[in-house]
Amino acid sequence: MERTFFQQLREELMVAARAVGNVGRLRLIGIVSRILGQFLLIFTLVLCVFALLAFASVAAINALSACMPVWAAALIMMGVYALLILLAVMLRRPLFIHPFIALMSKQLIASEEELELQALKAEHELELEQVRLQTRVDNATQELNFYVSIFNRVRNAIFRRKK
């Protein structure tokens, strides 16, 4: 009986440990993907700003000259890069964050919303395991208290008769 109780307690502790590990893994995926996504967004914006400035400066120099087609082409390219910057800012989640979430979770979780849902499920499983373990401990404590009280009553009854 004691051996099966401890084996069952060990199995429940292992399930709880897996639930804690799963919650931690999902939170880590969310944090790392957001960090990498922000890094890539900043890197892309910096490169686009450098290109924008390069084309804008070429356009400004050539605008002062008499050659119209050169600066017009440079302004067109500047407009294209400005649109790319706006597009990168507007689509930062599907372009930068969601691919990292999918990559880090081995294609099981494709978006930030699914990651949050999986994290909530893992936290719920962890709470259930904690409740199960607490119930198990409470039952074991009550059982121990019951046996101790029976032992004390028997001991008191025996020692009262001797007096």
* pLDDT tens digits, one per residue of 17-70: 787 787 778 777 777 777 777 778 878 888 888 888 787 777 766 665 666 667
In whole angstroms, how far apart are CA 71 and each of 6, 54, 66, 79? 81, 12, 10, 12
Of 92-96, 117-121, 149-153, the range with the highest mean pLDDT is 149-153
In whole angstroms, how far apart are CA 66 and each of 6, 60, 73, 142? 90, 12, 14, 95
Residue 1 pLDDT: 44
Considering the entire predicted model, what is its pTM? 0.47
Does residue 151 have a pLDDT over 80? Answer: yes
Helix %, strand %, coil % of the chain (to 5): 90, 0, 10
Cα 147 → chain centroid: 46
In whole angstroms, how far apart are CA 47 and each of 17, 118, 126? 44, 35, 44
Which residue matches tokens 């290109």?
51
User: Which of the pair, 2 or 60, is modelled with greater confidence?
Assistant: 60
Average pLDDT (113-136) is 80
Q: Whole-number mean pLDDT of the chain?
A: 77
Of 1-5, 7-11, 96-100, 155-159, the range with the highest mean pLDDT is 155-159
